[in-house]
Amino acid sequence: MSRDTELKERWELLVLKLSNQFADGDPLELDAIIYLVGVQELGQLHRSFKKDHKLDLMHIAICKLLSPYGYYKLDYVDDEGWPHYTIEEELPHLKAGEQSVLMKEALVNYFVENDFIN
């Protein structure tokens, strides 16, 4: 099985499982899944977030997801439990489609490592 085929199949499985769990089966989009990772990483699962915090959660998720690629490194967690990352390496300039593939791959890897999918 090619890497692209495997990524596509795992992505579809991930979207299906998360959509069933969090959206009554309505397919979640990439941004929504990134947001869920941010909430998971913050660890404050039953809290409501304002719009500016939602953007912060997506930033946390992106940093966490791209850490294994060497782009970010966890620096510290503040007194309120918010993780802060430092840039280790600048992200390459990617086209929109390439960015989407990178994030889908990072998300699949994150959920494989956390035993949500295999």
Q: How many domains does the chain have?
A: 1
For residue 19, what pLDDT is reported? Answer: 97
Q: Is residue 86 part of a domain?
A: yes
- Provide the Cα torsion 24, 110, 33, 18; round to 10°: -10
Residue 21 domain-assigned?
Answer: yes
Q: What is the mean pLDDT of residues 70-87?
A: 96
Task: Give a yes or no: residue 42 inside a domain.
Answer: yes
Residue 45 is assigned to a structural domain of this protein? yes
Residue 1 has a pLDDT of: 64
Given a cut of 90, whether residue 14 has pLDDT beyond it is yes
Question: Is the residue at 118 inside a domain?
Answer: no
Examine the pLDDT at 3 and tell me if it is beyond 90: no
pLDDT of residue 46: 79
Residue 25 in domain: yes
**Containing domain of residue 87, as a range?**
3-113
Domain-embedded: residue 7: yes
pLDDT-derived band of residue 23, with 50, 70 and 90 as boundaries?
A: very high
Domain membership of residue 39 (yes or no) is yes
pLDDT at 88 over 90: yes
CB burial readout 70-107, b (16+ within 10 A) else e: ebbeeeeeeeeebbebeeeeeeeeeeeeeeeebbbbbb
Confidence band for 25, pLDDT divided at 50, 70 and 90: confident
